[in-house]
């Protein structure tokens, strides 16, 4: 159990939890900022967490839910106020409705996470600030301390697992619920480099090609919310063509973009008959490069399975490997 001290200060309206680990600060920091890792320990063992969004930058937002043994859900959010990587971050933590919107009927808290080097590894001090004594007592009565202790008891196994989250593992797929999928890849480059590679048409044409033998003659980028993008590929052997089009819903450089996506073909140039997805890309700096997380929301489960069965993930891995080798030079 990594927790070494739990202190409640009714006058300061704070709850402080200190935990010590035998790993470097950077390894512990990445465990909290990588959605693949934090969802392995943020909820107690009987209430595992699923993070749908996790923005480790000021002004960012995290949305998650914890699923109980009977399938019941408890939803929450973080509003990111400050980030000083890899030393500290501050969030507003609260309860949420099923649709992710804040639940004002339950209290929210200001949480400060401080990471420090120690002789044996690292120390995490988590200080929760409450709005009133009633709120502090209410959340303690709801089992907050016990829940945090159970959740943090799982961190050791996560931070000791170096291989599962390292650069070089390739593109990975995680199915979420009935109609979502998350594609993850650590790309060996900075956040700014990876963002530019997604937003510069000349760079995109060099790496976003999928299997060998394809070119990208159409590459129109949506750099701002509300703009439409259009991409198109052509097979040099048989002239086969297809592409994608959609609208940018959100562009927050260099960390996050949200777009719609539908496939067009020569027989359906406007993609009027294609299923539309919502793609949420988030870039997070981690040890070894940049974690690219792409959350895809499909119209239904059948569409998700149909699209994934085309070998989409393998094609993405080919492109990301080309991005590293031909654009970033690693």
What confidence tens digit (pLDDT) does each residue in 118-172 have?
Answer: 999 999 999 999 999 999 999 888 888 888 888 888 998 998 887 788 878 899 9
Residue 42: the pLDDT is 93
Mean pLDDT of 270-277: 94
Strands (DSSP E) found in 35-171: 49-54, 61-67, 73-84, 88-96, 109-117, 122-129
Residue 1: the pLDDT is 55
Mean pLDDT of 52-77: 95
The string of pLDDT tens digits covering residues 166-211 is 878 899 999 999 999 999 999 999 999 999 999 999 999 999 987 7
Residue 3: the pLDDT is 87
**Closest C-alpha to 189, from 289, 282, 283:** 289
CA distance 166 to 62: 22
Q: Is the pLDDT confidence value at 221 over 80?
A: yes
- Architecture (CATH level 2) of domain 3-161: 2-Layer Sandwich (3.30)
CA separation, residue 195 to residues 125, 200, 254 (Å): 32, 9, 6
Q: Is the pLDDT confidence value at 12 over 80?
A: yes
Q: What percent of the chain has pLDDT over 90?
A: 85
Residue 168: the pLDDT is 82
What φ, ψ does residue 321 adopt, rounded to 5°? Answer: -65, -40
Map out the domains of the chain as residue ranges: 3-161, 172-328
Structure tokens at 235: 């097979």
Domains 3-161 and 172-328 share a fold: yes
How would you class 76 by CB atoms within 10 Å of its CB: exposed for 0-12, middle for 13-18, buried for 19 or more? buried
Residue 165: the pLDDT is 86
Q: Is the pLDDT confidence value at 330 over 80?
A: no
Q: Could you confirm whether domain 172-328 is CATH 3.40.50.1100?
A: no
**Closest C-alpha to 296, from 310, 306, 281:** 281
Q: Is the pLDDT confidence value at 288 over 80?
A: yes
Residue 248: the pLDDT is 98
CA distance 232 to 223: 17
Cα 251–252–257 angle (5° rounding)? Answer: 45
What does the mean pLDDT of the chain come to? 94
Mean pLDDT of 277-302: 97
Residue 52 — very low, low, confident or very high, per pLDDT cuts 50/70/90? very high
Residue 279: the pLDDT is 98
**Closest C-alpha to 298, from 289, 290, 307, 285:** 307
Mean pLDDT of 292-301: 98
The DSSP secondary-structure symbol of 113 reads E
CA atoms within 13 A on the CB side of 107: 19
Mean pLDDT of 93-116: 95
Q: Is the pLDDT confidence value at 75 over 60?
A: yes
């Amino acid at each position: 159990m990594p927790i070494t001290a739990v202190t409640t200060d009714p006058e300061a309206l704070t709850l402080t939890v200190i935990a010590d680990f035998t790993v470097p600060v950077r390894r512990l920091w990445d465990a909290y900022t990588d959605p693949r890792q934090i969802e392995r320990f943020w909820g107690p063992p009987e209430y595992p967490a699923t993070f749908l969004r996790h923005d480790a930058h000021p002004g960012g937002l995290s949305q998650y839910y914890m699923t109980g043994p009977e399938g019941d859900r408890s939803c929450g959010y973080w509003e990111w106020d400050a980030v000083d990587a890899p030393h500290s971050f501050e969030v507003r933590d609260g309860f949420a409705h099923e649709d992710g919107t804040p639940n004002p009927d339950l209290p929210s808290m200001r949480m400060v996470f401080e990471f420090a080097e120690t002789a044996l590894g690292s120390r995490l001090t988590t200080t929760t600030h409450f709005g009133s004594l009633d709120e502090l007592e209410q959340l303690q009565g709801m089992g907050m301390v016990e829940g945090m202790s159970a959740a943090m008891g799982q961190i050791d196994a996560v931070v000791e697992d170096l291989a599962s989250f390292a650069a070089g593992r390739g593109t990975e797929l995680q199915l979420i619920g009935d109609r979502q999928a998350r594609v993850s890849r650590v790309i060996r480059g900075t956040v700014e480099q990876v963002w530019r590679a997604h937003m510069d048409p000349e760079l995109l044409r060099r790496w976003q090609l999928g299997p060998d033998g394809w070119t990208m003659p159409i590459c129109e980028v949506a750099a701002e919310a509300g703009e439409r993008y259009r991409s198109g590929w052509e097979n040099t052997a048989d002239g086969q063509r297809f592409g994608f089009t959609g609208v940018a819903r959100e562009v927050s450089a260099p960390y996050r973009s949200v777009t719609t996506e539908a496939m067009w073909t020569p027989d359906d140039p406007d993609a009027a008959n294609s299923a539309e997805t919502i793609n949420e890309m988030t870039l997070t700096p981690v040890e070894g490069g940049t974690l690219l997380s792409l959350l895809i929301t499909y119209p239904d489960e059948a569409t998700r399975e149909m699209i994934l069965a085309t070998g989409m993930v393998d094609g993405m891995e080919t492109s990301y490997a080309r991005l590293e080798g031909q654009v970033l030079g690693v």
